Structure 1
Amino acid sequence: MMKKLLPSLCLFIASVGPLSCLAQEVIRITTGEFPPYYSQRYENYGPTPAIVAQAFAHVNIKVEFGFFPWNRSLELAKNNIWDATCCWFETPGWEADFYYSDAVRSREKIFFHLKSYPFNWQSFDDLKGLRIGTTVKYSYGAAFDAANKAGKLLIEQAPTNEMNLKKLLVGRIDIFPIDRLMGYQLLADLFKPEKIQLITHHPKILFSDSVRLLVSKKNPRNQYFIDKFNLGLKRLKESADYEPFFIREQQGKKINK
């Protein structure tokens, strides 16, 4: 009986073996709500997660996204509970815990202010005495940090961007640095048109940098994911599929779900 079963068993193993070798790899990535760049409400979770997913697709890796508060998103990846987190500016000290990918996309921050407040600036000296709202855990660039350390800036921190926009509207702060597209998206989500019309932004860019995928150094194999992602991202950028992911310049126009 055993002799009769062996040929069939061998054929079964031979048929299953090649299929198992073709199984697609999966990477689990944390992220958070950050309209209009990331949101569970958007198709493909928004343009930035879509870039990440398509870059990995170019190297036959499937992405599973999990949405969490941003601090938790970072910690889950740092402790290798999830494989990676998307997407962050390079931050001093983080390189001890994370591998950084190549640049996924660039973002810039500018100052929002009330139209009734005559604001103009060309250097950090022009910001002396102004009440500047900032959001906890957000980066505003090395030059901003240096000016703050030198005592040139009057900073008032708040836990969220939403709270800072509310403070700006009622005059509790004078200016608020935020990503331009995100700022106008939040205004559209939070306030009525007559309130939105009270706010504008200064055209001078405070800070411009690129966001990157981060993977934990606690798992040595994660360097493999960074290498594969960078290869896939390079292929994506060289294709005709990269540019359509970018949000067109707009102010206060809500992204469709």
Structure 2
Amino acid sequence: MNFPAALLPHAVTVSLLTACGALAAAPLAAAGGAAPIAVTIYGDDDYPPYSYLENGEMKGIYTTIIQAALKKMPEYQVELRPVPWKRGLVKLETGESFALYPPYLRPAERPYMAYSEPIMAEQLVVYCNAPAIAGRPLKYWPADYYGLRIGYNAGFLSGGKAFDEAARAGRLSALPARSSRLNLLKLLKGRIDCYLNDRLSIVWELGKLRHEKLIEAGALAVEETAALSAEQGHLGYTMRDDGRFPYKQDFIRQFNAIIRDMKQDGEIRDTVEHFLHGPG
């Protein structure tokens, strides 16, 4: 039976309002046997060894860490889906998708994104081929690289403010490609002079190219020439969903706490070691 609020005692009205609020929040708690909340998180489909698609399955270091964290959040049933990086950013910018991994912290460039607790650090380095750097001192970045063609992964430009300014001024060329593999093949063939990316990504992909015998005879020798600042990878959340994901704040709170615990107790470090080297 429904009663007008005006005819109810104040205490009863407050109780009803409180109960309604509790019911509205119930999906977040997912307690008492309620079905898990279905969540979709997108991951970069071509950023090995951190996040990539292989045989229809998302793999990589970040994927492994995020999967381990999500096992500790049983009230959420999360599907990890692959997406080309630039398309994934658009999905967050338009509020179409909930979350994407693993963006670096870029609040000015991506005002539509909120960031999780940092998950792990990546060391940015510069690799160059031998002919391009012959006779160059290469002590100062980016000044000693003026005039060169610097490749980078589209969506991951992170060479620093001075690098960005040099590219805009035409002192060097900043050339995007879709993936580490494409950039490294261009570097080995002399179509770019240097390549800017995470050290582990470069070493991993070079190893795969060698294993798959895709490095042609006569390929140029390449080497690391500079170590730049480290970057932290995150889980990025849309800020333009207009309430489409009512569980967002609860999810963020839980995920952040779990990642902090995983870092503190060494689980993330062990996960990375296991991924790279296997057991033992």
Q: TM over 0.5, yes or no?
A: yes
8 Å Cα contact 1:44-1:50 kept in structure 2? no
Q: Cα 1:193–1:249, aligned 2, differ >3 Å: closer, same or farther?
A: farther
* Matched ranges for 1:212-251 at <5 A: 212-217=234-239, 218-220=241-243, 221=246, 222-247=248-273
Q: Cα 1:122–1:47, aligned 2, differ >3 Å: closer, same or farther?
A: same
Correspondence for 1:8: none
- Equivalent position SS for 2:191: coil
2:148 is aligned with 1:133? no
Correspondence for 1:29: 41
2:72 is aligned with 1:58? yes
Count of equivalent residues: 236
Q: Cα 1:86–1:170, aligned 2, differ >3 Å: closer, same or farther?
A: same
In structure 1, list runs of 5 or more residues that go unmatched. Answer: 1-16
TM-score (norm 2): 0.70
TM-score (norm 1): 0.76
Q: Distance in 1 between matches of 2:144 and 2:205?
A: 27
* Matched ranges for 1:32-47 at <5 A: 32-41=45-54, 45-47=59-61
Amino acid at match of 1:84: A
Correspondence for 2:180: 161
- Equivalent position SS for 1:111: strand
Q: CA deviation at 1:194?
A: 6.1
2:222 is aligned with 1:200? yes
Q: CA deviation at 1:51?
A: 1.3
Q: Which has the higher contact order (CA 8 A, sep 6+)?
A: 1
Q: CA deviation at 1:212?
A: 0.8
Amino acid at match of 2:33: S
Runs of 4+ with deviation above 4 angstroms: 193-198, 247-250
Correspondence for 1:107: 122
8 Å Cα contact 2:118-2:233 kept in structure 1? yes
Please say which of residues 43-52 and 81-90 is displaced more in the overlay.
43-52
Correspondence for 1:96: 111
Q: Distance in 1 between matches of 2:183 and 2:215?
A: 18
Q: Distance in 1 between matches of 2:145 and 2:171?
A: 7
- Equivalent position SS for 2:63: helix
Correspondence for 2:208: 189
Q: CA deviation at 1:142?
A: 2.8
In structure 2, list runs of 5 or more residues that go unmatched. Answer: 1-29
CA RMSD of aligned residues (A): 3.3
Aligned identity (percent) is: 24
